[in-house]
Amino acid sequence: MNGDVVSIELSIQGTFLGPFHTRGVIQPTGAKIDFPTPTSWYLRNGKVEKFDCHIAFTTLYAQLGVLPDYASAVGN
């Protein structure tokens, strides 16, 4: 805790068992996931004013086995 900011790193863990709805649907692979996520709470007068949770999507996608085709995205 630093003044009115509380920051932690949590770990999101699970198994990819159901469909993942994005712009389309990514079918489950059964892959295990475990990735860190920095999370911050911003307080004012003892109450949460703002909550931020930053998900490492590239890490998540890599663990799910569904990394995007970055080369195609930039025209290579």
Q: 31 — phi, psi (to 5°)?
A: -65, 145
**Tens-place pLDDT, residues 9-45:** 989 899 999 998 888 898 998 999 998 889 999 999 8
pTM: 0.61
Contact 66, 33 (CB under 8 A): no
Going from the C-alpha of 29 to that of each of 9, 22, 24, 62, the distances in angstroms are: 26, 15, 15, 12
Q: Which amino acid is it at 27? A: Q
How confident is the model at residue 34, as a pLDDT? Answer: 92
Contact 41, 5 (CB under 8 A): yes
Q: Can you give the length of the chain in residues? A: 76
Unique residue bearing structure tokens 């009115």: 4
